Each structure stands twice: as C-alpha cells, then as structure tokens.
Structure 1
Amino acid sequence: MNVENAIETHYRKLADSLSNEYEDLYESISNNKLRALFSTLHMRVVNLFDSMNQRLPTGDSSSHFWAEPSRELLQSIEIIEALERSLKKSEYAFYVDKYHREKITFCKSFLSKSGGSAIPPNTEKMELYYTIPIFSPQRSIVIENQKNISDLKLIGEGSYAQVFKYFDKFYLRSFALKRAKKELTSKELERFKREYEQMSGLRSPYVLEVFSYNEANKEYVMEFMNSPLDKYISKNNGKLSFQERVRLGLQIIRAFTYIHSKNILHRDISPKNILIKEYDDVVVVKIADFGLVKVVDSHLTSVNTDFKGYFNDPNLVVEGFDKYDVLHETYALTRILYFVITGKTSTDRVSSNMKFFIENGLSSDKRLRFKDIDELRQAFQNIKPS
C-alpha cells in the first residue's frame, strides 16, 4: 500500500475519535495526519490500560474486561501493527516502545472481539505513559562508510572534540560529524566512544540521533541540528511568545523524563548541549553531549571527575562531582527552564511568577529542591505569564 494512502486510510478509520491530547509528544513527526494518529492511539492505549487496571483480578482468579473496551483495544492494536507494516521502509518508519510492545503481545493473547475478555490471573497493573512517547521515529539511516563526506565545515568546538557539517550526496541531506581531538588521553577517548554508544542506545525523538562510529578516525556521524539552545533563544528572544517558550520547556522535560527512566544522569546540562531543529511548522528540542553521563556501576564515572557544566550547582565544587545526583540534575534543569522562559541566565532579580520555581529549584537546602523530574514538571506547568 502507498505510504500516504496507508496513513489516510487509518486516519479515516479514527476520524470520529481523533484526539490531540498527546500530540505535543510527537512534534518531531512531520506528517500532520500521522502525528494525529499517534496522538489518538496514545490516548486510546492510556485510557484503555487505565480501564483495565480497574478490572484486574485478585489472586489466582480471572476478571472480566468489558466487551466494548476489549474491541477498542484490539482495533487500536490492529491499526498500530498495520501502520508498522505499511510504513516499515518509508521515511515515516517507527517503532513501538519496548514496554508497550510486550504489553500489546500480552493483550493479544486474551482479548476477544465479542462478549468481553477474561483478564488472566495475576496480571500486573499496566503502566501509563503520560509524558513519554509510545511511538518513535525509526533510525532508518545507516551510513556504511564515509566516502560521500567532503567539504567539512567546522561549526563547533569543545574541550574534547570538533563538530563539522557536511552534505551527503547519497542521502541528499546535511549531517554533522563529531571528531575527537588528537591530543586526547586514552581515558578521554574511551569516554568519547562511550558517549556515542550511550546515545546510540537511546531511542527518543528528544535525544540527538547518531548513525555510525569510525574507530580509525575517532569520529561519529550524527543528525544535523540548526543551532544550540542559547543561540536560538538569543536570536528569537524578542519574538517568542510565552506559549512557545513553555512548549520548548516541556520538550526538554520530556527528554529528561526519558533519560532518567533509563537510570541515566546527564551531568552536563547547558544551553549548548540542548540543540534545536527547525522544521517548517514546528521547533524540536534534542539533547546532545552525553560524555559526562552518570550510569550505575560504570567505571567511567570517576571519583576524580572534574566539575563541568556551567549550569551546575556550584556546591558540587565542594561536594565532589562524583556525588552528583538527581537533585543536582533538577537544579541545572531549573536554570535551563528559567533561561527558556525569560531569556536570562542570571537569577539575581526574579519576577513574581517565577519566584516559587526558582526558590525551590535552586535552593541551597536540598530538601526543598524538586526531588525528581515529575515534580519539576508540575512546578514548571504552574508558571503563569508575567
């Protein structure tokens, strides 16, 4: 089936129940109707899983799931799987989150189209994804070699690497190439490669995509982004509305909701490591630079790691960077979100609408800080225009 026709077919099937409730989770999807489909299917899965949670059996007995939601969940699963097949080799190819892939398989084993369904004994409560996408774009680009790379243009440089832009003649699009500096130590090179490996293992529309690693040249290819957050805000500070700033902030929060769900702390949060992709109709945020991530049981999280990240809690200089935890991460994110809303990095003079957010998020008393990303999100969403 033609790709556009497949999207149109399923869009019409759900025409009477289309919902934009979760559409902001799929801002990176360029096709408007596919974006609406993902939002609607996400809404259906959340609502139907929630209904099923109310009917879970106790002990070894089974329980009855009503006929109408059983049929609706089966239809949703059929549409998801049909879309997967139809879009598999297209630019709209996508994958289903691992947790939901397992739950879809489980639900298919007992759901019935008539007379309701018997929920198996000892069925666990379904997890509901309110802020994490269920569907994400597939990594459809595989760069086997770099024979098409030419005319590298330096677009950025840090302590460990240089970033170049180039145009790929095969894919007819621009990519970025990150190359480690020649003077790096073996430990620094190991961290550079670990950054690539870490990012290649993350599958989220809000994390920068990486495509291939060249061991000989100590470099890797990644998607090209238009600008870092600081340049984007500086360029557009006079014309960004409060609602547009909130949308950017919520994308950053969704990114870190996903990152933290993988038991990862970024540790180098700054406006230079949050990148912006500008499409014709939407602006998308993506997180980059995972060279300082803290992963449980990783030998690369060193006790002697130097203090990095100019949005980090200054008390880390005394505490030691190896003591970095989620309260330090929410501190840095508070500063980032304040920058997004106000365009300012200094918090010396905070307006009344931001006072609670800043005083708690940046408090020297860690008991007052946002204890996790969800608490940070709730406080951020309560900020009103000044």
Structure 2
Amino acid sequence: MNIENYIEAQYRELLSTNSSIDVEFSELYTGIEHTKLHEILATLHQNFISLFRLMNERLPTKDLEAHFWADPSRSLIKTIEITLGLYNALKNTKLAFEINEYYFDLIKKCRDFLSSSGGSTIPSNMDKIDLYYTIPLFTPKSVVTIDHPQTTRSFALKQIGDGSYANVYKYRDTFYDKVFVLKRAKTDLTPKELERFRREFEEMREFSSPYILEVYRYDEVKNEYIMEYMNYTLDSFIQKNNSSMAIGLRKSIVHQILRAFEYIHSKGRLHRDISPKNILLKEYHDTHVVKIADFGLVKVPDSSLTTANTEFKGYFNDPSLVVDGFDTYSILHETYALTRIVYFVMTGKTNTDTIPDSKLREFVKKGLHADKSMRFKTTTEMVQAFRTIS
C-alpha cells in the first residue's frame, strides 16, 4: 500500500463529510509531523467530541435502551471507519499512532450497536461519555522532541493560596502565553514535612488520569513545582453558581469526582484530605472538568510518614479520627468524606440534618453511618448507589 496516497484518500474522505478540516484540537497533535495526518487526527478528535456530546443527551441508559438519531449515527460510523482504517494501515510504519485506551474501548463498543439507517439503539447500562478536551485521543508511537530557543525569563507571581506546607502562586508564562501555578514549600519545614511535600509531587506525577491535576517540574534548589492552572475550587464554584446549577451539571461533577477516586484507590492510595478546596474545576465553553489536587496527606502502603500524631486536617473527614488517630485512616473514612462531598455538590449545603430527596437521604445515611461497617466499602459501590439518585 502506498501510505501517502492512503492518507490523501482519507483526508479527502474526511473533507466529504466535514465542511473543513478542524483546527480546534490541533495543539494536541504537535507531535505528528506529517501535516495532513496531523489535520486528520485533529478533525477526527473534534468529530468524536461533538458526536459523543450528542450521544450524552441520551445517556446514561441505566436499565433501558435509548435511540441515537440516524444522521449522527452515520457520521459516527464514518469517523470510526476512518480512525480504524488509519490505525491499521499505519501500524507498522513510522507514522504509527496509539488510540487512547478509554476511547479505543468506546469506539469498539459503539461499532457493535451503530446502524447506518433508521438510527441506532444504544444498549442498556451505558454511562455518560467522558469528553477529552485537553487530552489527545491519538498519540504517536515515535515522539519527536521540539527544542525551544534557550531563554531565561522572570515572571511576576500572584499568591492565590496558603497551606500548612506551601504557598501557592499563579503566573503567566509569556513564552507559552499560558497561566501556570507554582507551589513553593515554606522555608521553615522540618525534614519530614519537606519529604512529604516532595512526595506529593512524585505521587501526582506517577498518576495517569484526566481527573488528577498535572504537575510538570520540581526545582530541587527552591523546593517548588509547577502545575496546570484551574479556574475554580469546588468550594468557590458552588458558592458562585449554586443558585443556578442544573441537576445535570451537579451529577456530572459528582460522577467525575467518584471516577477520580476510583482511580486513586485502584492504585492503592488514600487521599485523606478530601474537601471542596482540594477538588478543582476547569471551565470550558460547554463543559466542566474536575481534577483532584493536594496529595500532601496521601496514604501510601508501608510509608513511614504517617503516625498517630499526624495532624487532623481534612475538614470533611470523619470526626471519629480525632479520637482514633489519623494512622487508623481507612477506605471507610475516605468514603465518609466522599459522601459529604457528593451531598455538597448536589445541594450546595454541608448540614445533612434535613434531606427532602429520599434517595439522596439514603445515600448520605449509608455513607455517614456511625457504624463504620455499614458504610460504603468502595468507591465503585458509591458510583452504583449514586446512579439511583434522579
């Protein structure tokens, strides 16, 4: 097969279904040096996002099936055909690329139920689809390194936060024309506190999830590191928007939070400092993305950094920890704090004395039960229980 001709053919095929080649997601594919393949992948990304956004209007299906309209069904079939055709044709060439695992599984699932006529029947028990606005769906197997000009620049810092171990600032990097966050350790930390600060960075760097805040570089001399910038804490977002928030947005935020902690727990970690100030949101034109931050108290198996005297910090934590000691912290304390977060997102309140919605009331009652053995035992159990709340 002539690869150049095949790419050109797919490029023209894409133009036959799109009015133009899309550039919205072009920056995610700067590692693709082949110009037309770069444009194709950026456009395929846009197609998937717009079509899955439409499909989300019919999701989740729960125990029932749902109808997906004919025109978007045909468009999604064509987008999948071009994607998989390119993936297979380029597999053993220098232009080979990987498809994001979550989307690869989703593509194969959709391929099984999509119909080219009369619309498609979405199967039961299909969840809403996570829309990746800042994460590439396609990654080149051979990554090229781009050398930037050697420059040294200074940027003014504006303090935006103050914690036990660090001060937090934001700044605009004029080279990238983008806002970043700098987290700088305080100068009076003990060696153990400084070790905890450094471990927070290492833990966040090791995670690979769209729901964990990205960190970029640790400065060994200044004991500081750079992070991505987010628009809000969950606390500030709820305060600003509580009176106008639709139930769909509230449930989307909860689903993302629970998904994040499912991932964290799957890695054998407990966050231990769950609060509306450590859950962040980035606001896009038509969606809100949740990311978890502040892993300074993360519980790591066999770590020597946690003792019975570790300070009780998370203000959504189980009060029994004051008596029991923070070294007893377990998944049952984590699900307690997450239950309070779910209630806060769904109502904008922290007082759980009166809850009119019976299903939400049962959810909260179980999650905050005084008998720890009666609480949610996993985040997955919480996800399943939350699906029953209308």
Do they fold alike, i.e. is TM over 0.5?
yes
Q: Which residue of 2 aligns with 1:292?
A: 297
Aligned to 2:354: 349
Give a deviation string over 1:109-157, Cα, whole Å, max 9, x none.
xxxxxxxxxxxxxxxxxxxx97997999369999999943411111111
Note the alpha carbon deviations across 1:282-321, whole angstroms, 9 max, x for none.
1100000011111112222334322120000001111111
- Runs of 5+ unmatched residues, structure 1: 14-28, 41-71, 105-128
Contact persistence 2:256–2:290 (CA under 8 A): yes
| Cα distance change on mapping 1:311 and 1:132 into 2, 3 Å | farther
Structure 2 counterpart of 1:307:
312
Q: 1:175 aligns with which of 175, 180, 184?
A: 180
Rounded to whole Å, the distance in 2 between the matches of 1:266 and 1:11 is 49
Letter of the aligned partner of 2:365 in structure 1?
A: E
Find the counterpart in structure 1 of residue 87 from structure 2.
79
Rounded to whole Å, the distance in 2 between the matches of 1:376 and 1:7 is 47
Query: How far has the Cα of 1:352 moved from its partner?
Result: 3.1
1:11 and 1:289 map into 2 onto residues whose CA distance is: 47
Alignment of structure 1 residues 1-386 onto 2, 5 Å: 9=14, 32-35=46-49, 76=84, 79=87, 96=101, 137=135, 147-353=152-358, 354-384=360-390
Give the superposition deviation at 1:95.
5.0
Deviations 1:320-348 (A, max 9, x none): 11111111111000000100000001112
Contact 1:211–1:220 under 8 Å retained in 2: yes
- Contact 2:335/2:377 (8 A) holds in 1: yes
Between the aligned partners of 2:249 and 2:378, the Cα distance in structure 1 is: 24
Equivalent residues of 1:143, 1:212 under 8 A apart = no
Deviations 1:63-111 (A, max 9, x none): xxxxxxxxx99x85963896998797xxxx97547x99xxx9xxxxxxx
CA change 1:76–1:30 in 2 (3 A) is: closer
Which secondary structure state, in structure 2, belongs to the residue aligned with residue 290 of structure 1? coil
Change (3 A) 1:282 1:319: same
Q: 1:292 to 1:38 in 2, by over 3 A?
A: farther
Relative distance call for 1:233 and 1:80 in structure 2 (3 A) is farther
Is the 8 Å Cα contact of residues 143 and 211 (structure 1) preserved in structure 2?
no
Alpha-carbon distance in 2 for matches of 1:299, 1:366: 26
Going from structure 1 to structure 2, the CA distance change for 1:160 and 1:349 (only over 3 Å counts) comes to same
Match of 1:22 in 2: none
Query: How far apart are residue 160 of structure 1 and its match?
Result: 1.1
Q: Which amino acid aligns with 1:334?
A: T
What TM-score, normalized to structure 2? Answer: 0.67
Question: Taking every aligned residue pair, what percent have the same amino acid on both sides?
Answer: 49
1:11–1:37 contact (8 Å) kept in structure 2: no
In 2, distance between residues paired with 1:276 and 1:157? Answer: 19
Secondary structure of 2:264's counterpart equals: helix
Deviations 1:1-41 (A, max 9, x none): 99xx879849979xxxxxxxxxxxxxxx995424368899x
In the aligned structure 1, how far is the partner of 2:190 from the partner of 2:303? 19
Q: Does the aligned pair in 2 maintain the 1:330–1:369 contact within 8 Å?
A: yes
CA change 1:195–1:32 in 2 (3 A) is same
* 1:176 match: secondary structure: strand
- Say how many residue pairs are matched: 304
Residues 151, 6 of structure 1: alpha-carbon distance in 2 compared, 3 angstrom cutoff: farther
Residue 337 of structure 1 aligns to a residue in which SS?
helix
Letter in 1 for 2:286: D
SS where residue 194 of structure 1 aligns? helix
TM-score by length of 1: 0.68
TM-superposed deviation, 1:275? 0.4
